């Protein structure tokens, strides 16, 4: 192993408890963007971290939403890498069972991985962010030098759709100039395989509401006694019918006119990647990780992979109306509710366009008589530049990541498109940088209960030490290309 | 005015603050049956009240659910009246705006009614129960005698569907023997009119659940990242389609085979009552009270009244799945939920049968491929004796109530069927007693925010003094028939 990486590894091993502690500190500071909970405190915490690391410039940039924290760690190196961070997390839903308090970041023995950090943000993405900062700190501690200059960009609205990030990049393109972007993210699966998903994409987040006031029928302002239902209309029933009109086959086949029009089928390179991936993909592990017995339409193998990456979806994130109290059938209020809300999203694939899709949804509702159903788009949906970005498997930052995996003996699967959304393409748009998300190590349950990041590891997945050394290795490999 | 009633009125006027205070005490003791909150404490409170009133026998009867409190106030009178009480209330939903704390029972100036008691249970039915007990206390305080013996039966599960009340009556028929039943309930509308709804009815309360475990598709145990939606099924979408399949026209036309089969059209007497009612009914006041701009199908007058009383309904009390957090579109979690629940009910009209309706719903789901959708009936649904009861406008207790209204100069509208549910028919079934709900005075917003009971009153609606004197008048009128 290179001298630098060997020194880093010794240092991390000797100081692992401190590294774990820094990740726990991040998790213990809530930063739930959708509830505006702890956002400002977390931004300040990161600002202090960037300063302590010796960033020449560290600054909290205000936006119309949550602030963006920037730090420039100038090592005098020829190349500069943007480390994209998100410091916000998803919420903690009440009906989700956690084995440890979600904001404690406790170390829990999680067979077969040994000790893991469990908590909201453990993998998505306070754990990886903390590990990357630990790696930079370790490089400095052992005398470095840092192989690349680092520009940290930490946003607090990733879970809201990054709706102020694009404008920030556009306005600060000179300051942000870099050679590539890395989203530090341990991507090993539980069985040790690792995936490299090329590019990034984003979707349309929206909400539908039906209420008696807008409709002019049903209770206008408050829920009323259900004994009136025979003569009074139900906004909940109306919204259920409106949502049901948008798709069939359990929501899997969208009936909105032109919904699938923009979706490009895989091109030659993507087909080749899909062919290869189909021979590597462990469907059972995929289902096991998510706790899913069977996939849509009973799909398997290549067909399943192609559907996951190349078919846009219409998802219902939540639906609520009237009595939403948990409990058994006795927890049931005799009410005719006055409103209902569907929280929805559409994931887009190339070459689809957000504004176009949003317009088609609105047109569908209007055409089916649901003019009164209020559709609210997430702010910024129609002004944001682009919904997806593509990169080549040959780009330097991708190659550096692949070299890292090779160094750790991990064979990568190349996914032509990232199924999950992240905003890398916004940087590509304004800075021209290539981008990739990755790292060795393992975590899981993003957006679910018992979100975790592996600390110990086993013979298949790497632990936190290798995760941090791996980030150093990727910096070094990128510097050498 | 009769000497007794004059004495009672003087007494109530002189002690009104105490009477208000007793009602407030009841409201301040929560008793939300669906949350098992404060039930036992409220039962004990009532037991003490019954004893303090001089009940020869007072007892808390255990049931498989919440206890029933019984008290027998023997006045040595020839006739005995059951006063049916419910000591439980509905819940307080979080999305409902209250002008005063719902468990404080504050006196609030509520134009045009003057002071009102505002709080959960103010009208449904701690206010009326307290007023009736105040009336009995006042009769005793002025030397009485009580015109009738009273048997108090106070259940704590009315809002759950009274599922242990039938068995209690069956087992204790001898103890409960009586000449009639009164459900004390100020029934004036805001414009002073009063309705007498004949008989009682009840419905089927049930819950539908779809989850990935039962379905064998979609996330089985917990919500997962929505980035997987293109390949993983959605239990929320499935339940929305299942519920949508059960009805059309915004839920107003039920598509379940045979759903309307048992429903009897109005008979000759009921048609006559409907004809007369149509000339009296103030539709505008009805809509105003409920905050409803327009009724189903734009119905008016007799057609509206007939639909309200003679058409069974399929109501969605609540629907929840995934992210049910309140807030704007930014409060939206990128989750593919693992389960969804629809809380539903069917109100029945004569001659429908609960078990039959429940079976038809299940058969509908099965026939449409929703065998995995779990349907849970409220306990007791299929074992309870009957779903509705009819009484004649000529029955003594109805006549006594009508005489009371006449005494107070209030012209009654006779409704052939009660739109709202209550369990009077269970007493009719086992004891053969006629039954009626009524009283002078006014309150409103049952099951809604800002539930209230009028204390002062105005030139149209009676206040609490008349409400209590009115209960004494009904006892007296019943005794004299």
Q: Contacts of residue B448 in chain A, CB cutoff 8 Å?
A: 222-225, 335
CB B375 within 8 A of CB B365: yes
CA A322, chain centre distance (Å): 31
Q: Does residue A205 sit at the B interface (CB-CB below 8 Å)?
A: yes
Q: Is position B277 within any domain? A: no
Torsion-angle region of A249 (φ positive above 0: left; ψ -120 to 50: alpha; else: beta): left
**Would B258 be classed as within a structural domain?**
yes
Contact A429, A385 (CB under 8 A): yes
Would you call B15 an interface residue with chain A, using a CB distance cutoff of 8 Å?
no
User: What is the layout of strands, in order, in the sheet containing B180-184?
Assistant: B57-61, B68-73, B149-155, B80-86, B180-184, B434-438
Q: Are residues B232 and B253 in the same domain?
A: yes
For residue B301, what is the nearest residue in chain A, using CA coordinates? A231
CB contact under 8 A, A207 and B233: no
Contact B34 A218 (CB under 8 A): no
> How many domains does chain B fold into?
2
- Contact of A321 with A223, CB cutoff 8 Å: no
Rounded (5°) CA angle B264-B270-B273: 150
Give every CB contact of residue B48 below 8 A, 6+ residues apart in sequence: none
DSSP conformational letter for A40: H
Give the β-pairing of B434-438 and B180-184.
Answer: parallel
Whether B64 contacts chain A with CB within 8 A: no
List chain A pLDDT tens, one digit each, 481 residues.
Answer: 579 999 999 999 999 999 999 999 999 999 999 999 999 999 999 999 999 999 989 999 999 999 999 999 999 999 999 999 999 999 998 777 899 999 999 999 999 999 999 999 999 999 999 999 999 999 999 998 999 999 999 999 999 989 899 999 999 999 999 999 999 999 999 999 999 999 888 889 999 999 999 999 999 999 999 999 999 999 999 999 999 999 999 999 999 999 999 899 999 989 999 999 999 999 999 999 899 999 999 999 999 999 999 999 999 999 999 999 999 998 999 999 999 999 999 998 888 889 999 999 999 999 999 999 999 999 888 777 677 888 888 999 999 999 999 999 998 999 998 887 899 999 999 999 999 999 999 999 999 999 999 999 999 999 999 999 999 999 999 999 9
The length of chain A, given as a count of residues: 481
Cα–Cα distances (Å) from B259 to A335, A444, B54, B104, in that order, read 21, 47, 49, 43
Contacts of B323 in chain A (CB under 8 A): 91, 93, 317-318, 343
CA A357, chain centre distance (Å): 21
The percent of residues in chain B predicted with pLDDT above 70, rounded, is: 99
Assess whether B215 and B346 both reside in one domain.
yes
The answer to whether residue A241 is domain-embedded is yes
**Cα–Cα dist B282/B307, whole Å:** 16
Q: Which of residues 296-325 of A touch B (CB under 8 A)?
A: 296, 299, 304, 307-309, 311-313, 315-325
Closest Cα in chain A to B252: A233
Same domain, A34 and A76: yes
Q: How far is CA B199 from CA A190, B75, B114, B387, B426, in A?
A: 64, 28, 32, 11, 11
Using CA atoms, how far residue A134 sits from A117, A451, A468, B20, B425, in Å, is 15, 20, 7, 67, 72
> B308 and A217 in contact by Cβ < 8 A?
no
Residues A401 and A361 in one domain: no
End of a domain among B342, B377, B412?
A: B377
β B57-61/A203-211 pair status: unpaired
Residue B85, min C-alpha distance to chain A (Å): 18
What does the pLDDT look like over B175-217, one tens digit per residue?
Answer: 999 999 999 999 999 999 999 999 888 889 999 999 999 999 9
Instruction: Indicate the residue among B377, B395, B427 that finishes a domain.
Output: B377
Q: Mean pLDDT score of chain B, rounded to an integer?
A: 95
Candidates A224, A296, A345; nearest CB to B290: A224
CA A239 – CA B324 distance, rounded (Å):
15
Domain span holding position B20: 3-201+387-480
Looking at the fold, whether B45 and B173 belong to one and the same domain comes out as: yes
Are the C-beta atoms of residues A114 and A463 closer than 8 Å to each other? yes
CB contact under 8 A, A216 and B293: yes
The DSSP result for A142-176, as a single string, is: TT---SSEEEEEEES-GGGT-TTHHHHHHHTHHHH
Instruction: Give chain A positions within 8 Å (CB) of B445.
Output: 222
- Chain B hits for A332, CB-CB cut-off 8 Å, are 34, 160, 205, 207, 317-318, 343, 345, 378
Angstroms from B92 CA to nearest CA on chain A = 9
Q: Residue A82 in 3-state DSSP? A: strand
Q: Please report the number of interchain residue pairs, chain A to chain B, with beta-carbon separation below 8 angstroms.
A: 385
Beta bridge mates, B68: B61
Q: Are residues A263 and A219 in the same domain?
A: yes
Q: How far apart are CA B196 and CA B137, in angstroms?
A: 26
User: A203-211 and A339-347: which strand pairing?
Assistant: antiparallel
Q: What's B340's domain CATH number?
A: 3.30.70.360
A99 and A47 in a common domain: yes
Are B105 and B183 in a shared domain?
yes
* Residue B87 shares a structural domain with residue B236: no
Q: How far is A198 from A237, CA to CA, in rounded Å? A: 42
Closest by Cα among A264, A263, A254, A265 to A361: A254
The closest CB to that of A96, out of B217, B223, B251, belongs to B223
- Bridge partner list, A374: A209
CA distance B426 to B168: 10
Is the same domain home to B214 and B108? no
Q: Any chain B CB within 8 A of the CB of A222?
A: yes
- The predicted pLDDT at position A262 comes to 86
A residues 409-468 closer than 8 Å to B (CB): 418-421, 445-449
Say if B292 falls within a structural domain. Answer: no
Which of A325, A346, A377 is where one domain is finished? A377
- Reported as a single tens digit per residue, the pLDDT across B347-377 is 988 888 899 999 999 999 999 999 999 999 9
Q: Is the preceding omega at residue A67 within 30 degrees of 0, hence cis?
A: no
CATH number of domain containing B196: 3.40.630.10
Q: Do B317 and A307 touch (CB under 8 A)?
A: no
pLDDT tens-digit map of B394-451: 999 999 999 999 999 998 999 998 887 899 999 999 999 999 999 999 999 999 999 9
Q: What is the DSSP letter of B148?
A: S
B330/A317 Cβ within 8 A: no
Helix locations, B281-316, DSSP H: 283-290, 301-310
B361 and B413 in a single domain? The answer is no
């Amino acid at each position: 192993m290179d001298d630098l990486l060997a020194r880093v590894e010794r240092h991390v091993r000797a100081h692992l408890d401190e590294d774990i502690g820094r990740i726990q500190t991040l998790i213990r500071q809530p930063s739930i963007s959708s509830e505006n909970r702890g956002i400002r405190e977390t931004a300040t915490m990161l600002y202090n971290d960037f300063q302590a690391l010796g960033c020449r410039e560290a600054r909290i940039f205000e936006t119309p939403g949550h602030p963006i924290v920037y730090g420039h760690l100038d090592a005098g190196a020829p190349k500069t890498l943007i480390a994209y961070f998100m410091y916000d997390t998803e919420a903690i839903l009440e009906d989700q069972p956690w084995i440890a308090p979600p904001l404690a970041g406790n170390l829990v023995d999680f067979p077969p991985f040994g000790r893991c950090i469990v908590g909201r943000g453990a993998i998505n993405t306070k754990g990886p962010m903390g590990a990357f900062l630990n790696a930079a700190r370790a490089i400095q501690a052992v005398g470095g030098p840092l192989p690349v200059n680092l520009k940290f960009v930490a946003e607090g609205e990733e879970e809201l759709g990054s709706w102020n990030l694009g404008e920030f990049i556009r306005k600060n393109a000179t300051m942000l100039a870099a050679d590539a972007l890395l989203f530090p993210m341990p991507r090993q699966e539980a069985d040790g395989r690792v995936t490299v998903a090329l590019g990034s994409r984003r979707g349309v987040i929206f909400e539908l509401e039906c209420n008696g006031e807008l409709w002019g029928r049903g209770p206008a302002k408050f829920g009323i006694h259900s004994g009136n239902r025979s003569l009074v209309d139900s906004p909940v029933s109306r919204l259920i019918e409106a949502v049901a009109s948008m798709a069939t086959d359990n929501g899997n086949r969208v009936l909105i006119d032109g919904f699938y029009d923009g979706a490009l089928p895989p091109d030659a390179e993507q087909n080749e990647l899909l062919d290869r991936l189909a021979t590597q993909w462990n469907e059972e592990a995929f289902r096991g990780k998510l706790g899913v017995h069977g996939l849509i339409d009973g799909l398997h193998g290549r067909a399943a992979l192609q559907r996951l990456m190349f078919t846009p979806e219409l998802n219902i994130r939540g639906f609520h109306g009237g009595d939403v109290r948990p409990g058994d059938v006795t927890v049931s209020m005799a009410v005719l509710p006055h409103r209902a809300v569907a929280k929805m999203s559409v994931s887009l694939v190339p070459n689809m366009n957000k504004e176009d899709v949003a317009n088609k949804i609105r047109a569908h509702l209007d055409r089916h008589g649901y003019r009164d159903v209020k559709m609210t788009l997430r702010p910024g949906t129609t002004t944001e530049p682009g919904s997806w970005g593509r990169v080549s498997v040959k780009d330097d930052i991708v190659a550096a990541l692949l070299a890292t995996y090779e160094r750790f003996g991990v064979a990568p699967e190349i996914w032509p498109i990232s199924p999950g959304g992240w905003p890398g393409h916004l940087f590509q748009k304004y800075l021209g940088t290539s981008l990739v998300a990755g790292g060795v190590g393992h975590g899981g349950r993003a957006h679910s209960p018992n979100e975790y990041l592996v600390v110990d590891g086993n013979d298949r997945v790497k632990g936190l030490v290798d995760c941090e050394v791996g980030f150093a290795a990727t910096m070094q490999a990128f510097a050498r290309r």
